[in-house]
Amino acid sequence: MSFGFPLAFLVLPLPLLVWWLVPPRRERVPALRFPFFRQIVSAVDAVPRSGAVILSRTRLQMIAAIVCWCLVVLALARPERVGMPIEITKAARDVVLAIDISGSMDARDFIAPGGERKQRLEAVRQVVRTFVEGREGDRMALIVFGSKAYVQAPLTEDLETIIDMLNRTEVGMAGPHTALGDAIGLSIRTFETSDIDQRLLILLSDGSDTSSRMSPVNAAEIAADKGVEIYTVGVGDPEATGENRVDLATLEEIANRTGGAFFFAEDETALSEVYNRIDELAPREVETLSYRPRRSLAYIPLAVAALVGLGVVVLLHCGSRRRVAA
């Protein structure tokens, strides 16, 4: 129990000061003067008194007025019921996942733990899904890129939406080529809506940049200036030719420019270990806020004051009717 405005109790003696310092209210009224006033008074057997009349109050009225005033002041002090402390944990860092869905991600060269070959994107989905599920409380965004980069889900704490949008993603939806630089640039723009200083971008690709308007290294320099830390993950075949060759050197340079780390995964087990390693290097960072819920109780003294006032009015009215009847 506490009071939101305890200074209101300072006005508690105000009626008493008014009673002491302010003179009674006087009012002029018209009257008739009779030269035979004394004869009229004697005829009706009345006793003449002073012309100024000060209305008197009954003891019940005074007690009710004092009680009502105290209750009103109590309501002005805003009594509150304070609950038990509640702690809220919120993310202290935002994470953006940038996933390559270019045509080369359709290759079935990822070895699953059981030995069967899986599509690259399907293996990535499985590992990323597990990674996202383990970051409850964080804010995450999902960007997919091919010939162009697109935001699938903005920064949100609804990780189920991130997983659902990832499951709906198919190879080639963003075009057949690879735009690493555009994906980094779009990630930087996504972080602009964040008021959190610590920002992490996890960039996964299996090809070399062929369609960006800005080189990936230059984009990484801008990301570093914006406080974005980039972890790059290379999958695919570094010995392939053309767009199907994963550019490990560029991915490593991107990570180095931003103070992040570079990883290469050849199969699903290695990819899982990569994300576990990222979780170790960039553990979930949170800030805890504690507050105590408050429920206003001001309506209780106000309701009691109204009931007391109404009750006194009813009693006085009934008493006056009885006197008139008698």
Yes or no: say if 278 and 202 are a contact pair by the CB < 8 Å rule: yes
pLDDT of residue 178: 85
Q: What is the DSSP letter of 115?
A: S
CA distances from 22 to 55, 89, 160, 195 (A): 16, 58, 70, 59
Q: Hey, what amino acid is at 68? A: C
CATH architecture of 88-288: 3-Layer(aba) Sandwich (3.40)
Torsion, Cα 117 243 147 163, to 10 degrees, reads 20
DSSP helix, strand, coil percent of the chain (3-state; round to 5): 45, 20, 35
pLDDT of residue 137: 67
The 3-class SS string of 164-184 reads HHHHHCCCCCCCCCCCHHHHH
Per-residue pLDDT of the chain (326 residues; tens, 9 = 90+): 788 888 989 989 898 888 888 877 777 767 667 777 777 777 777 776 665 555 667 788 888 889 999 999 999 998 898 888 777 666 667 889 999 998 888 878 777 777 788 888 888 888 888 888 877 767 889 999 988 999 999 998 888 999 999 899 888 888 888 888 999 999 999 998 877 777 889 999 887 788 788 889 999 999 999 889 999 998 877 776 666 677 788 889 999 999 989 998 877 788 888 888 887 776 666 666 777 788 888 889 999 999 998 988 888 878 766 655 55
Of the candidates 254, 249, 189, the one whose C-alpha atom is nearest the C-alpha of residue 215 is 254
pLDDT of residue 326: 53
Q: Which phi and psi angles does 97 have, rounded to 5°?
A: -100, 120
pLDDT of residue 244: 64
Domain boundaries, the chain: 2-84+293-325, 88-288
Q: What six digits make up the tokens of 175?
A: 């075009």
- Residue 189: other Cβ atoms inside 10 A: 12
